[in-house]
Structure 1
Amino acid sequence: MRLLHTSDWHLGQTLHNFDRTYEHQCFLDWLLDTIVAEEADALLIAGDVFDTSNPSAVAQRQLYRFLQQARARAPQLDIVIIAGNHDSPGRLEAPGPLLEAHGTRVVGHVVRDAAGSIDLERCIVPLTGKDGAVQAWCVAIPFLRPRAAPGDDAFDAYLAGIRLLYQQAYDLARARATGGQAILAMGHCHMVGGDASPDSERRIVIGGTEALPASMFGPDVAYAALGHLHLAQRVGQQEHLRYSGSPLPLSFAEVGYRHQVLRIDLDGPRAAAIEPLHVPRAVELLRVPASPAPVKQAIAELVALDLPDLPRDVWPYVEVRVLLDAPEPGLRAQVEAALEGKPVRLAKIEPTRRVVTTAGVEPALSLDQLAQLQPDDIFRRLWQQRFGEDAPDDQLAAFTELLLPTDGTARNREAA
């Protein structure tokens, strides 16, 4: 049985106010061709399908047109979609009954009955091979907000509740799996040690304590298809626990990423082979200069840019990186003049101020750097300044508790 794993499409995203519908459509067209060429039996989409909880009509049409075309071109294909922290669970699930009739299962949120018990059946999805027989069971767990996990609403029970839900769902999948059928997992979460993009990802819960351990995936899980982190990566150096990453760079911090979809071949209850299929980049992102440089040098490099004449949809985005000693009121006008007539789109001017430090004094943070700090980051820095050492874990835990609402529930820190 052959699977394809993808995530974090972020349909509807704009890059510094530039629409990216064309780039997303190029990816979706490539994915359709890849499904057919690879003769895939199932497609796993691990969350953050949309960039916002209220996606545009254009973004929604892109998704549903893709699902319709995938079914038409690969009638045997099973598709499983889970909600990410950017998605609206209800909006994603709304067309579920119609989609299920065409081979697509959407799991947006966990559902409880009148007694408060979670309906685990909704999270267990059978996957069929080309002969129509069930060959694998997929444990599909969407992004879980603190109150959605089993147990009470206390913050310190959040991770334990998530692990409990996965364990309960695994137990049900094990009971269903017979005759060498594989057990798969899907999740949209931040795993311990995961490498996040500094510009386009935010931690889901205050304090970074939402990170989950790889040990929550049992030894009988053939493959875990994860979403949330945009860099394709293994979890804990384990081959079968993977983030597929986003299919296109969602910020200039991701210029160096090799975007991919993962192909997984199952042999009975195990993953026999896992291979990346690299996604072509439809539009380039350029950082000029490669590292922050004085204005004169930056302008000279912009003037020297020699780019082919391309259709406007594929003009590269440019981030201009300048090193300043003092305010430069006419900077944007200089940059725009240097790019006049060139087939590029000026997305961002990134100024970095030259900092002269005094021995023993930490340099001041820029406004951009301050904007990216979380409350626990500030606590860590202050502790280091005051005591000259890293903040102890118990102090970090106590500080996190202070940030909770007065009813003791965890405060969600979704990326909007």
Structure 2
Amino acid sequence: MAEQQLYAFIRRAKADNPDLHIVITAGNHDSANRIETAKPLLSQFDTHVVGRFDKHNPQDVVKTLNTGLGTLQVVAMPFLRSADLDTQADDPLAYQRGVERAYQAAYQGVDAQLPVLAMGHLHAKGGSISGDSERNITIGGFDAITADVFGERPDYVALGHLHKAQKVAGSDAIRYCGTPLPMSFSERNYRHQVLLVEFTDNDFSSVKPLDVPRLKPVILLPERGGATLDELIALLNELDLSQYQNQGKATPYLRLRLNASDTDSQFRTKIEQALADKQVHFCGIERVNTTQQSTDMPHFEDLGQVEKLEPMSLLELAYRAQIDSEQAVPQALQDCLMQVLAGVQEQEA
């Protein structure tokens, strides 16, 4: 279904904008082989697809886009796994240095007279994550890299992975545009946007955020911390949805946060009764314990939601719950988890 929607969008976008070029790279959740399969078909629509980086043919990620407004070179770097890179196992900065070498190798295939836009799917050091919908990319114990890896060659660096729109290292020319819509309830207050990047005389000149309208509201009750069952029922009774209906907006998403100490066995029935006349898409109940009231970290009634937690966060939750609620997770235990994650990602590569 998702692939059909993507292909239909590309077809419509190309029909509406004949000079349009689209560049698609694989992220850390994508199958490189699956992404690459559609390459011959999508190339007919000026859509360039890169599923993996071949260190023996680094120039393959360089795409030249010729339009009526000029020519741009794109270094379409996908998510880089350690198996894709030249690294030394005993180097604590092996992943960062490997990423830097990958970009430098790719730059050898660009024309020095043309502007260059570099893409990347990674967690840049200092980037702000949303908490429950993004996982740090952790390889070989190193989960965030500095902006230095991109070097001086690109005129602009367009990054993916972090969902919040933001600059990197304070640079206007190195940015995450973020997701165009909320991927979780923790992102309900984000300013979602796409970025219009302009070049003048082959040089980067400006970047302009274009806000993406919120077509489907996202409601979390209460906004912070948890509430008792009686408090939740009161909040639901007071919830006025007419503002969304009058504005012609789609049915809102709604999630509730219930105090873990509330032991009323009929809580689901009572909440369903309170929701009976509410036109919402109900997205479940979070259990919030007292230690979470200040941190705002979620506990889910549905254990399937555990998949949304970043592995290190899950370790921290388990350690506090079962070992020591006052102390941080020992570094040795963190290192052990890092090694396990690195091994898993090696197998998936």
Bigger relative contact order, structure 1 or 2 (CA pairs below 8 A, ≥6 apart)? 1
2:143 is equivalent to residue 210 of structure 1: yes
Choose which of 54, 57, 61 in structure 2 pairs with 1:119. Answer: 57
- 8 Å CA contact 1:245–1:260 kept in 2: the answer is yes
**How many pairs align?**
334
CA distance in 2, matches of 1:303, 1:340: 11
Choose which of 279, 290, 296 in structure 1 pairs with 2:223. Answer: 290
Counterpart residue number, 2:98 = 161
CA distance in 1, matches of 2:164, 2:347: 19
Structure 2's unaligned 5+ residue stretches are none
Counterpart residue number, 1:247 = 180
**Partner SS state of residue 314, structure 1:** coil
Counterpart residue number, 2:13 = 70
- 8 Å CA contact 2:52–2:80 kept in 1: the answer is yes
Alignment of 1:255-334 (within 5 A): 255-291=188-224, 292-308=226-242, 309=245, 314-334=250-270
2:109 is equivalent to residue 172 of structure 1: yes
CA distance in 2, matches of 1:243, 1:231: 7
Alignment of 1:74-93 (within 5 A): 74-93=17-36
- 8 Å CA contact 1:295–1:322 kept in 2: the answer is yes
TM-score, normalised with respect to structure 1:
0.71
Change (3 A) 1:139 1:154: farther
2:82 is equivalent to residue 139 of structure 1: no
Q: 1:127 Cα shift?
A: 1.9
- 8 Å CA contact 2:260–2:287 kept in 1: the answer is yes
Q: 1:342 Cα shift?
A: 1.3
Q: 1:404 Cα shift?
A: 2.9
Change (3 A) 1:355 1:77: closer
Q: Give a deviation string over 1:59-92, Cα, whole Å, max 9, x none.
A: 1111001111111111111111111011111111
Q: CA RMSD in A?
A: 3.6
TM-score, normalised with respect to structure 2:
0.83
Choose which of 91, 111, 116 in structure 2 pairs with 1:183. Answer: 116
CA distance in 2, matches of 1:249, 1:151: 36
Counterpart residue number, 2:40 = 97
**Partner SS state of residue 101, structure 1:** helix
Counterpart residue number, 1:108 = 51
Change (3 A) 1:222 1:206: closer
2:170 is equivalent to residue 232 of structure 1: no
Alignment of 1:335-414 (within 5 A): 335-354=271-290, 372=309, 374-375=311-312, 378=316, 400=335, 403-404=338-339, 410-412=343-345
Letter in 2 for 1:336: E
- 8 Å CA contact 2:220–2:254 kept in 1: the answer is yes
CA distance in 2, matches of 1:155, 1:314: 51
Letter in 1 for 2:240: D
**Partner SS state of residue 242, structure 1:** strand
Q: Give a deviation string over 1:279-319, Cα, whole Å, max 9, x none.
A: 11111110122232222122111012221358999211111
CA distance in 2, matches of 1:104, 1:242: 22
| Percentage of pairs with the same residue | 35
